[in-house]
Amino acid sequence: MKKVIIKCRLNNRDNFEDKLSEIDMDFGAVYWQHDRVYTPRGYQPRSNFPRLVMRTELKAIDEKPEYYLILRRHIEDSGIDIIEKTPVNDYATTVNIILQLGFRQAGEVSRRRQDLIMGEGTIMHLDELDNREEAYAKIETELHDGDSTAEIKNELKKTFETLNETDIVESAYFEL
């Protein structure tokens, strides 16, 4: 799936949520995610190399965690992210396969996340990362044939600007 993603470091999480509540937009319940990020040999930030992410997701404490293998590839020239998400039954075996393919673990990210559906194919995530003081908001929108990546990026940035948030972050969480 092709997506355009814009991430912003929030000035003040409470003010941000209040502004959204004023226009009847509220985030869903908090859930927990933990990502282990794997990169191929020769990986460089801002390159077109793929990353593999093993994600553990826990939506409620009385449920079993879900595991996903996520292929992420950011195409720098176009600003498009290609993301494929596959459910995984055996976490350890999948990690062993990743390592045998020559990928190495590059980082880990734990976060508490809330989602806000903004429209068909567009979602805003509100993230609090473990071991970081700041909160982040990230808007992801699916890209369809004929869509202009530049126009969509500008619209997403304008959404943040409307909410008085302008600290756009280009780095992946594991690179912060």
Residue ranges covered by each domain of the chain? 2-175
Q: Which fold has domain 2-175?
A: Hypothetical Protein Pfu-838710-001 (2.40.320)
pLDDT one digit per residue (tens) for the chain, 176 residues = 899 999 999 999 999 999 999 999 999 999 999 999 999 988 887 778 899 999 999 999 899 999 999 999 888 777 788 999 999 999 999 999 999 999 999 999 999 999 999 989 999 999 999 989 999 999 999 998 888 888 999 999 999 999 999 999 988 899 88
Question: In terms of C-beta density within 10 A (0-12 exposed, 13-18 middle, 19 or more buried), how is residue 2 classed?
Answer: middle
**68 vs 85: CA distance, rounded Å:** 6
